[in-house]
Chain A
Amino acid sequence: MAELIKTATRDAYGKALVELGKQNDKIIVLDADLSTATKTGMFKSEFPERFFNTGIAECNMICIAGGLSTLGYTVFASSFAMFTAGRAFEQVRNTLGYPHLNVKIGATHAGISVGEDGASHQCCEDIALMRTIPGMVIINPADDIEARAAVFAAADYDGPVYLRFGRLALPRIFDEDYQFNIGKAVKLCEGKDVTIIATGLMVNEAINAREILLNSGIEAAVLNIHTIKPIDREAVISAAKETGAIVTAEEHSIVGGLGGAVAEVVCENFPVPVLKVGVNDVFGRSGPGDEMLHIFGLDAANIVEKAKLAFRMK
């Protein structure tokens, strides 16, 4: 039944900003001329006096957001992941991260599923980049319900947050009463043989992979890690202890993302095999987003292969 509802997390972001704006007049939204695509245009329509298009100047936008936040505003600054985490990395690091300012980066069009725009816009490095900034919170929601919850949680948190949203419409996974806590992983399925730790749109693929694995007699647990930093260390260590093998799944480079974060925790606490599903350190290319996911191995079939391999490595 839940499969019937498909919404892009960027749409949920736009709607949540409007909801938030109604409750809190200290919310300000900035965008670097992509408000139609990032969906901050919804906020602009509702609260034009609290919305600013800084023009095509993302580094400037990030620092303006920093300046506004020092006055007590909660600022959401939006553009594509490529141009916030990527282009404006050093501004995020020095002007937001170092003084721990209360700015939320609403980064949309993350990952390879951007599709037709091609490699220049398919940002698969943002999680890795943001992870290196001390005190940065990174949230990568799996569906529209979680995206909405993440926006509200980010607004309640005092400090910089990187919110990662996608372009593609995704099936809804969670119920309306879903409880979201920053830094708290969500166990979606129990299993004893291997744990699939997934984030973002790969959570749904992980659930599908679990069903396929049952046919081979493998019972996989599925853990949703929406907050990649700070990562839920306890949940990751428990997964290593309980199932003895882990597969990570993310729409991001295999370098420095969820897979790296999980491997770091596992290596230092309870070493077991950790295999990674992600973009294999290559640039993307143009084509429909759905097709890109399959071409680059970001699907249930690849998770199944990796899970079988991890299971055999135990």
Chain B
Amino acid sequence: MDSIVKKQLKVKACKVRIGIIEAVYSAKSGHPGGSLSIADILTYLYFHQMKIDPQNPKWEDRDRLVLSKGHVAPALYSVLAQKGFIDIEILKTLRKSDSILQGHPSMKLTPGVDMSTGSLGQGLSVAVGMALGAKIGGKGFRTYAILGDGEIQEGQIWEATMFASAKGLDSLTAVVDNNNLQIDGTIVEVNSPYPIPEKFKAFGWNVIEIFAHSFDEIDAAFKAASEFKGKPTAIIAKSIKGKGVSFMENNYKWHGTAPNTEQYEQAIRELNAELAELEA
């Protein structure tokens, strides 16, 4: 990947992370861990991959993204704010009465949100419907679904996976944010979905494995997914829960907890230092 573009994406991703922390701290609740683990991929998609228009969020031919792991809404909101769909200041209204930023995404309230999600296991099926509609309507747009690795414990994910390959929906790409942690512990301790790539392969999908925080690998994976014909693609992205904030990294306790003032200040200090380094 071009080094200038890569640097721009890193800067954007760092700003997205700052937005996530600001939003969750302001709300005093929410899900920072999984928001930070998916931040690079969402930044890449909205700034380098997807055909979208912040001035026309309902553009018929836009690419679609379904945040099936809807609890990481702060990551999506922060990306949408950086992209200009919503005002950055609005991030601080997250989860507050009268805010357009609900605890989980609402397509009716937030410009740029393509589907209301939050109840795990349903978003991939919705994305399958969108990809199916694109196929029968002769539309060229692509559909992305963002899944959690804990989320794929939901049986409906495999109903959707089976149907998508049976119909050859190659405009569909699912990302599994494989940060290895869910609310009660590691996904292995709770109910292991491993080996994840083999499961998707067995369900007839094209599978690509990457490190979720390498823009080179992210770029190569999404380009390959776009070009692959005949099957949907699953990108299994090994990630670090809480990525970018030292004390949140790889700690399941940050799945659904907001930082206190001291922790917030430290997180922002760390991210600002990273940003300064990137922009130097």
Contacts and interface: CB of A to CB of B under 8 A. Distances in A.
Given A50-B136, A55-B162, A60-B156, A98 B116 contact: yes
Interface stretch (A68-76, A212-220, A230-238): A68-76
Given A63-B126, A99-B108, A90 B119 contact: yes
B159 interface: yes
Interface string A82-97: 0000000011001100
A64 B156 contact: no
Contacts of B159: 54-55, 57, 59-60
B107 interface: yes
B118 to A, nearest CB: 7
Contacts, number: 99
B182 interface: no
Nearest to A32: B159
A163 B67 CA distance: 30
Interface residues of A, number: 28
Contacts of A50: 136
Given A94-B118, A99-B107, A63 B125 contact: yes
B119 A66 contact: no
A75 to B, nearest CB: 8
A308 interface: no
Contacts of A94: 116, 118-119, 122
Contact of B132 (A64, A99, A100): A64
Considering residues A59, A64, A91, A99, which has the most beta carbons from chain B within 10 angstroms of its beta carbon? A64
Given A57-B163, A67-B133, 13 more contacts: A49-B136, A50-B136, A57-B162, A60-B160, A63-B122, A64-B163, A66-B125, A67-B66, A68-B133, A70-B114, A94-B119, A95-B125, A95-B126
Interface of A: 28, 49-50, 52, 54-55, 57, 59-60, 62-73, 90-91, 94-95, 98-100
Interface of B: 60, 64, 66, 106-108, 114-116, 118-119, 122-123, 125-134, 136-137, 139, 156, 159-160, 162-163, 166-167
